[in-house]
Amino acid sequence: MSAKPREHDIDDAQTSPTGLERLAVRTLKLTDFRNYAQARLDLDARPVVLVGDNGSGKTNLLEAVSLLGPGHGLRGRPYAELARKDGAGGFAIAATVSTRHGEVEIGTGFLPGTREEGAGRTVRIAGKDRSTGALGDYVKHVFLIPAMDGLFTGAASERRRFLDRLVLAIDPKMRTPLSRYDRAMRQRNRLFQLREYSRACSRGLRSRWRKPAWPSPRPGSTRSERLTALIEETQEARGQGPFPHAVLALHGTLETELSTRPATEVEDVFRILLEEGRERDRAASRTLEGTHLSDLLVVHGPKNAPAAQCSSGEQKALLLGLVLAKAELIKTLEGTAPLVLLDEVAAHLDAARREALFGEILRLGVQAWMTGTDRELFSPIAQDAQILAVNRGSIDT
């Protein structure tokens, strides 16, 4: 259904201004993924618009694209759930992707019978078995989905996940220390829950709590501070636009300490806090102090008001501004912009903001993936995008 790309568009679209190839999905093949038994898409590097009724499979496609990058996909659901209900129990996604390393074949999937816990998805890059994290060398993405609408008003854990994704997108090496911290916390809490802590202590484990290898302040905290500053700078450089800039701050005991002392001292503070809080934590069966409880506070810059107190439209614009700034920051730091996955975004913007969004996407030079039920909303970008109709698990191209 989409118009055949014009020759000069393809040339322009594939090469970013930095000379590096634009990150773009060129073919996408799905097998037993969500409501797709089999599907195949052949694409050029321009933005992709998926149009279709509710429940036709638009978000599912975005989710499949998100699995070409590291992480658990944009819905963060267990892999077993992604396998088509009437299928054999597994799913497969195969893609050819233009990346900064050239054109690469990426395959990922989940095999029937694999136990969810511990067993991740399989990943193949250029014919070799690789880790999920290795995908980040080839494909990065930023995304905005309706489930994130309550980000500013909802649980702090969601804002931490948002921040963690930001940290990992910019600094993939943080994956190991962050998961080490989380694992250490889980082990500590499990001991409390098993009421074995005192016995474990007497078996000599106690000393291990004091070692820095055990929950030291989540190493991301200092870097998060730097990153939030970078995001602010990126937005500032963009100037006043339709998407308000955000003022970001991390809030937590250790962040407060970090603002007045060097990180090495804060490690000691944290160790002392853990020691002193042991009885309290044992009673609660979980650790009540640490950067796993920090919050990301977001202020609507132009209004100078907490994001949570802004209208839902203002919150959406703020979020979109943050997601676009993240994409721009990745482009600035790495020379290649990420895929930008925007689910049901256009419908919630007024016409001026919608056009501004399309303008930003074209300016950034990204293969954005956008969804909507109303084709009309995308008419301002129709000439510069590939518009595909999604219809109950099949795609008209």
Ligand X SMILES: Nc1ncnc2c1ncn2[C@@H]1O[C@H](COP(=O)(O)OP(=O)(O)O)[C@@H](O)[C@H]1O
Residue 217 or 372 with smaller CB distance to ligand X: 372
- Cβ 29 to ligand X shortest distance, Å: 17
Binding string, 203-242, against Mg ion, x = CB under 5 A? ----------------------------------------
Q: Which of ligand X, Mg ion, none binds 52 (CB below 5-8 Å, type-dependent)?
A: ligand X
Taking CB under 6 A as the criterion, which residues in 82-111 touch ligand X?
83-85
Size of the site for ligand X (CB under 6 A): 14
* Residue 262, number of CB atoms within 10 A of its CB: 10
Compute CA distances 144 → 20, 74, 108, 127, whole Å: 25, 8, 22, 31
Q: Which of ligand X, Mg ion, none binds 233 (CB below 5-8 Å, type-dependent)?
A: none
- Cβ 49 to ligand X shortest distance, Å: 13
**Exactly one of 16, 31, 35, 99 binds ligand X (CB under 6 A); which one?**
35
Compute CA distances 113 → 18, 110, 118, 121, whole Å: 45, 9, 13, 12
Q: What is the DSSP string of 209-276?
A: HHSTTSSPSPTHHHHHHHHHHHHHHHHHHH-S-SS--EEEEEESHHHHHHTTS-HHHHHHHHHHHHHH
* Residue 342, number of CB atoms within 10 A of its CB: 23
Q: Which of Mg ion, ligand X, none binds 84 (CB below 5-8 Å, type-dependent)?
A: ligand X
Strands 246-251 and 141-144, bridge-based pairing: unpaired
- Cβ 56 to ligand X shortest distance, Å: 4
- Cβ 131 to ligand X shortest distance, Å: 25
Taking CB under 5 A as the criterion, which residues in 46-65 touch Mg ion?
59
If DSSP codes are grouped into helix, strand and coil, which group holds residue 125? strand
Residue 84 or 354 with smaller CB distance to ligand X: 84
What are the φ and ψ backbone dihedral angles of 222, each rounded to 5 degrees?
A: -65, -40
Taking CB under 5 A as the criterion, which residues in 252-271 touch Mg ion?
none
Task: Record the tokens describing residue 83, joined without a space.
Answer: 């396998």
Q: Which of Mg ion, ligand X, none binds 188 (CB below 5-8 Å, type-dependent)?
A: none
Alpha-carbon gap, residue 49 to 388, rounded angstroms: 6
- Cβ 39 to ligand X shortest distance, Å: 12
Alpha-carbon gap, residue 361 to 47, rounded angstroms: 8
Taking CB under 6 A as the criterion, which residues in 47-66 touch ligand X?
52, 54-60
Q: Which of Mg ion, ligand X, none binds 35 (CB below 5-8 Å, type-dependent)?
A: ligand X
Nearest to 106 by CA among 80, 78, 82, 134: 134
Alpha-carbon gap, residue 323 to 166, rounded angstroms: 9
Residues near Mg ion (CB under 5 A) are 59
Residues near ligand X (CB under 6 A) are 34-35, 52, 54-60, 81, 83-85
